[in-house]
Structure 1
């Protein structure tokens, strides 16, 4: 690039493109199916080993827990650990390539663990884990209609996510993703709050920073999963 070549804008992220214009018509039937039939996929050995390591860290820490699921390169894990120095913060992601890109040393109360969440959440729920907070920041939206079951609220592991309890916080630049999550949580008897996320002076993730610089509207859903749910919706 020479001196006369224009520099690309700081934020140039495109909005999510989907062939789905509203909540998926099979969302609630999918949620009900997964609540009625436990996810039976065998736990992979490397996920069991990852959970065993996490359990050792949790036991050694002895304090409250924050899960940062889909943590990517761990920016959010670092920031959450700095904001909550008395908590153990576990950043979970299935990509070794992303985790290897961590930017410098982590605070002593933060750890990054490579694992598949579909196995880790089940193991954690079975072990009775109750994280105080659980972050799902900018998960892969899988925007094609045929990929509903790859979104966390349409995935067979969704009941395990609910069983973990705590304060669930999820953010996305695709409103429909969180609208579907809101519908699924409400259907299961919880009271989620979906709001527009104002610009963050310290974005929690690289995606959040990039989307803000691109001028995209961001959204957040927050839901207490440790409160006794109301009777599930019959709609």
Structure 2
């Protein structure tokens, strides 16, 4: 498939999900007690050693896919340690072949489940200066609302991680729902169109080549 024919999001939702408030408020007041998976604990412990030893800014690139965005963010923030996290080893394995950048920046790629990784990062008192969520899986069917990060039980931990959070999607409803969930958590932000001369993820490049727009929110959670 060429870069220029990425399909648009198709959803049976034409606005915010009608259960969004109920779901988010439930997660904001409940305790998330799911046990941490052993493989994510191991991966986190290894990375945490580097994080604790590092004295510069910490940046998270969650759902980093093949890690092209992670490498690009490291280039833009040469004084920072950038950590890209994705659950798919298949996607991460492509990085060395196609996307690795060695000219500047310091970054690490980690295979882990973010439902566990974010909780471990909060418990370890990580304080990222920036947290990027670039084009997460939109789960556009209404019945999958709780698979979207803002509708998931882990959502309060995204807020607790703090830093400058940036969420981008080619589906405006995803970002609008995320902004509304943040509002329910006491954090107010706006959704805007995002344009740039340079795409920093393969999805971003593909969407723009197909004439699709990017929507984003940026908020300082500290």
Q: Same fold (TM over 0.5)?
A: yes
What is the Cα deviation at residue 38 of structure 1? 1.1
Higher helix proportion, which one?
Answer: 2
2:200 to 188, 204, 227: 204
1:192 to 189, 201, 204: 189
Instruction: Look up the match of 1:221.
Output: 217
TM-score (norm. length: structure 1): 0.90
2:129 to 111, 127, 132: 132
Instruction: Look up the match of 1:94.
Output: 87
Cα distance in 1 for residues equivalent to 2:157 and 2:204 = 26
Structure 1: 4+ residue segments shifted above 4 A = 105-108
Cα distance in 1 for residues equivalent to 2:204 and 2:22 = 32
* The structure with more radius of gyration: 1
Cα distance in 1 for residues equivalent to 2:82 and 2:115 = 19
What is the Cα deviation at residue 128 of structure 1? 1.3
1:71 aligns with 2:64: yes
Q: SS in structure 2 opposite 1:204?
A: coil
What is the Cα deviation at residue 193 of structure 1? 2.3
Cα distance in 1 for residues equivalent to 2:31 and 2:124 = 16
Instruction: Look up the match of 1:150.
Output: 147
Where in structure 2 are there 5+ consecutive unaligned residues? Answer: none
1:35 to 28, 31, 39: 28
Is the 1:191–1:224 contact (alpha carbons within 8 Å) kept by the matching residues of 2? no
Is the 1:132–1:167 contact (alpha carbons within 8 Å) kept by the matching residues of 2? yes
Cα distance in 2 for residues equivalent to 1:128 and 1:9 = 43
Aligned CA distance change for structure 1 residues 42 and 10 (closer, same or farther; 3 Å): closer
What is the Cα deviation at residue 45 of structure 1? 0.4
* Pairwise CA RMSD: 1.2
Deviations 1:46-89 (A, max 9, x none): 01011111111112222110000000000000000011011000
Instruction: Look up the match of 1:4.
Output: none
1:180 aligns with 2:177: yes
TM-score (norm. length: structure 2): 0.95
What is the Cα deviation at residue 9 of structure 1? 5.4
What is the Cα deviation at residue 105 of structure 1? 4.9
- Matched pairs, number: 218
Where in structure 1 are there 5+ consecutive unaligned residues? Answer: 1-7, 227-235
What is the Cα deviation at residue 104 of structure 1? 3.0
Is the 1:152–1:158 contact (alpha carbons within 8 Å) kept by the matching residues of 2? yes
